[in-house]
Amino acid sequence: MHAEIGQFLRYLDVERNASDLTIKSYREDLMDLADFLTDEGTKKVLPREVDASALRGYVSALHDAGYARTSISRKLASLRSFYRFAQRQQMADTNPAKPLRNPRGQRKLPHFLSGDEIQQLLNTPDANSVMGLRDIAILEVIYSAGLRVSELVGMNDRDLDFEEGVVRLRGKGRKERMGAIGEYAAKALRRYFAVRKRADHGDSNELPTFTNKFGQRLTTRSVARMLEKYIKECGLDTRTTPHTLRHSFATHLLDRGADIRSVQELLGHKSLVTTQIYTHVSTASLKTAYAKAHPRALKKAAAPTVATRAGSTASTRKTSKPKAE
């Protein structure tokens, strides 16, 4: 099966233009299946020879090994994709993974920060140092545009359009989309640009927006370590990751009345179902809606106090517009 897996991975790379991380995940999932079939002592390891019964045994082994339901679902998705490819290439007559159902599981609400917690986090980096200004800009941009950390570190200077307040992003599957840059994020970027140091990158079109102290492009791991340091310093929930800021971006927009399809576009979600997990609203918003609409509401509830930096129009703080440099 190893040769067929290799062909499938090349197809993902060349024809589907899949990211390195996606290819790595498929490789791990499919090699895991190949190892299982080998350990079972069966000689039926070619795609054409593996049936649904063998795959059910594999899924059962995953459950016994303590894999999370989400991990098992991902592995099943990898198997279905692989066997669809195998059928097209006449390596298999059927797709034995197709009848297998994903394990049921309650979808957890994403962890997010409140407006006050976002402000607390943004006040933590040292605004009098180069690295502090860089880190403030990173946090502002992630929260302002709802970025994935991979999109953030992949940003180049030429992707930014301060006049229009947008940034061009390369997301999952190397697909391009546009993100919004709010006033606070734009101001933080300008302050950082005024003091940053950069190495010679050769191609002026590929100058990275965010760099380390040596002037080289940041990595996703570097951003995660940076945030982890500030989370400990300001005493916020240790579950907070760079993706938490993306969750907060979506939650705050919807909580303040943004259209869900607009949020879907801003997040770069292919399916609206993925965005719908953010449609939970705060108790304060529910009380406000009740007080405004119900004829028997006894007293007017206080308006929500969530302050967001996800775009300049959504913020509750007054600020002067940054001057163009």
Catalytic residue positions? 148, 172, 243, 246, 269, 278
Enter the DSSP assignment of 277.
Answer: G
Helix residue ranges, H only, the chain: 2-14, 20-39, 52-64, 69-88, 115-122, 130-145, 149-153, 183-193, 220-234, 242-255, 260-267, 272-275, 283-293
Do 278 and 254 meet the contact criterion of CB atoms below 8 Å apart? Answer: yes
Give the C-alpha separation, 106 to 245, whole Å.
23
Place of tokens 């009380």: 287
Rounded (10°) CA dihedral 111, 112, 116, 118: 120
Residue 86: HSE in the Cβ half-sphere, 13 Å Cα cutoff: 26
